[in-house]
Amino acid sequence: MVARRDLKLPTKLKRDAILESVLELRFATAVVSEVFLGKLIQHWPNYQQRRLAAYEIPPQIRELDPNVRYAPTIELASPDAKSAVRIGPFVLSFARAAPYTGWRAFSPELTNSVTALFDATGESLTVSRIGLRYINGLTLTHHSIKSLADLDLNISIAGEALAEGINLNVNNKSDGEFCSTVRIAGSDVIVGQIPEDVTVIVDVDVFTKEGFEATHRDAVLRWIEQAHTCEKMEFFHLFKKEHIAEWST
C-alpha cells in the first residue's frame, strides 16, 4: 500500500469499531473434496454444522460457474455464535463477529484455520487468493463520528460538498503483493442489519494480486500478518489525527 501521509498507527483503541472480521482462502487441491472436508470439520469439534444453499448445487456446475465456484457449502458455527467457519471444495473462510477479540487473539484463530486446511489437503494444495476483511461501524458516542463529513475525506460535485447519500468504493493497487478495496458509506444508504447507533460504515478488504500462488503454510501466514498492517493503514488514513488520538489508549 502507498501511504498517503505520515501516520503512526495506534496499537490499541479504547473502543474499536469492528463489526466483523473475515479471512478467506481460495484454493485448488487434488484431494477429493469429501475427504478433505471431513478432515477439516474435525478441527472444530464443538462447532455446530449446517449445510448452506450451495451444497445443493451439482459439483459439475459449481466447478464451471465462477459465480458459485467459491461459494461455501458447509458452515460450522461456534457455541456462542460469534465465530463461523465456512467451507467449500475451493474455499475456506473464518469469520468473527463483534466484539472483536484483538489481533493477538484473532491471529491464532486464523493460524489454526490455515493449518487445518494444509493438514487436510497435504502437499497438493495451492492457495490462489487470500483476503483479509474488516467491516467497521463508527458511532457518534464512541468515535465522535456524526457523518461522512467527520472523516478526512472530501467529496464534492460542482464545488458543493456531499456528506449524505454516499456509497463510495475505492480500489487501491500497490507494487507489492497487496490490493485493497475500501467501501465507505453513511448509515442512510446501508442495506441490511447494522447497530442502530452506527453512523458510518468503513469496509476494508485487503487481498492478493491476480496470479498469486502459495503452496506453503508459512507463506500464507506471512501474507496475512502483513495484510493486517495494510488493513490498518487503509482504515486509519480515513480519519483526522485528532480522532485517532482520541480513540487511542
For residue 146, how many C-alpha atoms fall within 13 Å in the half-sphere facing its CB? 3
Query: Where is 61: in which H helix or E strand?
Result: helix 59-64
Distance, CA of 122 to CA of 116 (rounded, Å):
10
pLDDT score, position 2: 42
Distance, CA of 13 to CA of 4 (rounded, Å):
22
**First vs last C-alpha separation in the chain:** 26
Helix, strand, coil shares of the chain, percent, nearest 5, are: 30, 30, 35
DSSP characters over 125-193 = -EEEEEEEEEEEEEEHHHH---SGGGSS---EETTEE--SS-EEEEEEE-SSSEEEEEEEEEGGG--S-
Cis amide leading into 195 (omega within 30): no
Given a cut of 70, the residues of the chain with pLDDT beneath it are: 1-6, 174-175
Set of cell numbers at residue 114: 490455515
pLDDT score, position 61: 85
Spell out the residues 6+ positions from residue 175 whose beta carbon is closer than 8 angstroms to its own: none
Extents of the domains making up the chain = 18-247
Set of cell numbers at residue 170: 475505492
Write the DSSP symbol of residue 249: -
Angle made by CA atoms 247, 179, 6, in degrees to the nearest 5: 45
pLDDT score, position 209: 93
